[in-house]
Structure 1
């Protein structure tokens, strides 16, 4: 492998690649979900696909549902294994009285603002002044907007605490999680803008994260980002799209282990859309939304397993119907190769940032919230506006392993690091 770099042509390609990477793309870095390690052992036929997934950065979840010791281990792993010039990707999920609507995800070590300050201090001390991207408190804005239970639960004041603490690092980029349906109309978008303006007075925000644990297409989410900027009256703040399961868009209002879902475009800062800073995998692809078997689910949902744990059939469907098979020609898990034959994607391979047409009623009225890491258990989250279906359960992801996942546009550079 080293001989690849001995010819003048190879050296020129390396120099150009690394110049391009330094000039434009962020090198996103995280540690792989622990569920992948166990799945490769339990299901050897998934190993190639899972190893491909591990080459990209899936957000690490820093949550009070992990013990203090486990959080320390996670932080030690990500800070020691991600290079200084990379940008670590971390979802912060520990606000007091999480999931105040359903109460199924409210347990954890953080019970008060004082606890929350200590929880955040552990994180910021470990990160220091390193480059980091924070996704701030999935579900919180959805439970705060429109006089939701987050108001009485003190979410606004605690979000201000988080923004102040996390943005004290000038190399940190903060994106507050916002449910997509809150940006589907001007009234709800205005409520979001009010909250974001209040939070931005406490520290520096880059923007919002859209589509966490959901299936909405990049085109649809770009429209929601446009709506957000319109409500803000400025294009200064921008957006992240969770592409972990959105390759085929969301053809229905179902949210639980949707059969037609596919793994979306890999994490990158080179989105090709002016107001979308990153595509990211926030939800670890393959981790279940829960058991979707009662009469409230349609036949468009796979059965599933306990929320947040690895689901073999779900991962196989996501892989076979997603980006790597459809656009990269990789083999399906069943062994055949495909060039966009396993599923007709509702997304174009090159995003233009222009929405063609208005999202359908089914697309804009559903409410799906975060499924967080597995150790945290299942939880039914935000209740959307009256006419909307119930939201997706939030189960924080499984604890992450020490395997480093790094996303860069410079493949030769990545190969060099492994030598």
Structure 2
């Protein structure tokens, strides 16, 4: 199973566009939904004003595609995770933390640079070796400073080791790197860390994850993340998370977060081996919130950036490339 790598060069370009202009609704009620006190309490995370969705909504508005612009505002006005890339993640991260600080919000990041990433599939890449990864994590952590931040650590890294996609010869180093990354990130005074634990359709028995997560340092993390870039329903992920948390009791009570970015219609029926890659008919899920109604679920988050391709499948562009047609479909099919 694969995930996407983000198009960081595109984001860097978009970063110069400044706040979204011309794509906000004329409706006062819609503006209140974006900036009002209810949203402040529900999702204290920073919204990137120069995200691909924000840029696209602005472009649609300028070209008279007002209905499409309104659809993409459903994505643009929500906080989504930043996936810093390149040898030095610092500049992108500092821009985000500074933006969040000015608004009194929390920045949301994904660290996704583990060596031998994604088993050479659509999101292949990562640091060339362990030494390079340690240096990268040091830069990542340093860029956080004393900002309030949540970090989802290395989607797929543990699950790929469990399912055997990552060769055995790399697994000991991988677990050590993850454990060291958690320790380094937790030195930052206001950083929370959630180690990725795959999704219920991938490693169906959560007991198989307990020992690997232990080797990867879950005891030092705030918890784990589920459903990153996937489509499992919130209820399915929540039930799975409770089982995994109970199985991890020897390492402390571990809370978890769920990626709800694209799970509004659940997973595509059929072959699980291909259902993760740009499946049709999917929808945006529950917007990011801390109000989960479950003491073990710290948040529903949009960790995956809705509208970015999973890879060159079903007519999609390369992994991580912004795909406006797919983004429109997610927004159009969203409930509510």
Match of 1:279 in 2: 300
Unaligned runs of 5+ in 2: 1-35
Q: Say if 1:31 and 1:77, in contact at 8 Å, map to a contact too.
A: no
Q: TM-score, length-normalised on structure 1?
A: 0.62
Deviation at 1:91, TM superposition (A): 0.2
Which structure would you say has the larger Rg? 1
Match of 1:225 in 2: 241
Which of 74, 79, 82 is the aligned partner of 2:92?
A: 74
Q: TM-score, length-normalised on structure 2?
A: 0.77
Q: Say if 2:163 and 2:203, in contact at 8 Å, map to a contact too.
A: no
How many angstroms apart in 2 are the aligned matches of 1:104 and 1:307?
6
1:102-141: CA deviations, max 9, x gaps? 3554435x22222222211212222112221000001101
How many angstroms apart in 2 are the aligned matches of 1:150 and 1:272?
39
Q: Say if 2:74 and 2:331, in contact at 8 Å, map to a contact too.
A: no
Question: Structure 1 residues 196 and 170, CA, compared in 2 at 3 Å: closer, same or farther?
Answer: farther
Which of 223, 229, 249 is the aligned partner of 1:207?
A: 223
1:39 aligns with 2:56: yes
Deviation at 1:231, TM superposition (A): 2.0
Q: How many residues align?
A: 288
Which of 168, 183, 187 is the aligned partner of 1:164?
A: 183
Question: Structure 1 residues 184 and 125, CA, compared in 2 at 3 Å: closer, same or farther?
Answer: closer
Q: Say if 2:149 and 2:192, in contact at 8 Å, map to a contact too.
A: yes
How many angstroms apart in 1 are the aligned matches of 2:217 and 2:115?
20
Unaligned runs of 5+ in 1: 1-16, 294-302, 328-419
How many angstroms apart in 2 are the aligned matches of 1:21 and 1:48?
18
Secondary structure, counterpart of 2:84 in structure 1: strand
How many angstroms apart in 2 are the aligned matches of 1:272 and 1:120?
33
Please state which structure has a larger fraction of its residues in helix.
2
Map 1:11-410; keep pairs closer than 5 Å.
25=42, 27-31=44-48, 34-40=51-57, 43-44=60-61, 45=65, 46-63=68-85, 66-68=86-88, 71-83=89-101, 85-99=104-118, 101-102=119-120, 105-108=123-126, 110-149=127-166, 151-153=168-170, 154-181=173-200, 185-186=204-205, 189-200=206-217, 204-233=220-249, 236-252=253-269, 253=272, 254-293=275-314, 303-322=315-334, 326-327=335-336
How many angstroms apart in 2 are the aligned matches of 1:127 and 1:259?
37
